Amino acid sequence: MYICLCHGITDRQIRDAVSGGCCSFREVRTSLKVGTQCGKCACTAKGLVRETLADPLFIPARQA
């Protein structure tokens, strides 16, 4: 599902960025540019990052 229409970023890409080592919305934003144009997706993207980090099955790449 598209989260950021301005940059064509999907929920999958955001989850993959977190799995790949991004550990905050700020890092995901820097990496994918999500939320950097109109900003309407920022709240949803931030929630998705939080949700992914809070997932008990989630293992960050930095600790894997």
Q: Which residues bind ligand FES (CB under 6 A)?
A: 4-7, 34-41
Closer residue to ligand FES in complex, CB, 44/60? 44
Token pair 């939320």 is found at 35
Q: For residue 38, give the nearest of 3, 1, 6, 2 by alpha carbon.
A: 6
To ligand FES, the closest distance from the beta carbon of 35 in angstroms equals: 5
Closer residue to ligand FES in complex, CB, 17/34? 34
Query: Which three-class secondary structure state does DSSP give residue 49?
Result: helix
Q: Which residues contact 5 (CB under 8 A, 6 or more apart)?
A: 41
To ligand FES, the closest distance from the beta carbon of 58 in angstroms equals: 23
To ligand FES, the closest distance from the beta carbon of 18 in angstroms equals: 17
